[in-house]
Amino acid sequence: MTSSDRTSSNPDRWVGQVTGTGIVIGDNSSASVVVGQMQSSIQIELSKKLEEFTDLVAHHEGAVEDAPNVRKAVQEAQREVAQSAPRWPILHMLFRGIAASVSGVAALTDAMNGILTLLGRMPR
C-alpha cells in the first residue's frame, strides 16, 4: 500500500493510490503488504559516504576553491540517492563534477574515489 489516507467512516478502508500484492486462498485467510521505501544497500552506503564527505568538505573548506558549489552538488546528490529509484546517470555526472572540484585536496579526492568506486557498481 502506498497511501496513508483512510476514510473517516471506516478506518480499515484506504483511499487513493493503493498498491501491493497479497495472495490468499481459503476462508479467513489474510495477507500483509510491507509499506515503505526500501533502499538498496548501495544507496545506504552512498548516503553514509556522502555524510562523511560533507564533514570532510567542512573541515577542508579553505582549501576547496568553490566550496559553496561543492556543498550544493553534494546536497543534490544526497537528494537523488534518497529517491526510491535514483537516476544513476545523474549521480555519475554530479560525482564527476564534485571530484574535479576537489581534486587539489588529497583527503577529499580519496573520499570521492571511494564514492566513485561504489557508484561504479551501478548502471550508467
CB 50 within 8 A of CB 115: yes
User: pTM for the whole thing?
Assistant: 0.67
List the chain domain ranges.
41-119
Question: What pLDDT does residue 40 have?
Answer: 84
The mean pLDDT value for 25-54 works out to 78
Which residues are CB-contacts of 102 (< 8 A; sequence separation ≥ 6)? 57, 64, 70, 108, 109, 112
Residue 41: band (very low, low, confident or very high) from pLDDT cuts 50, 70, 90 = confident
The mean pLDDT value for 64-85 works out to 94
CB 122 within 8 A of CB 60: no
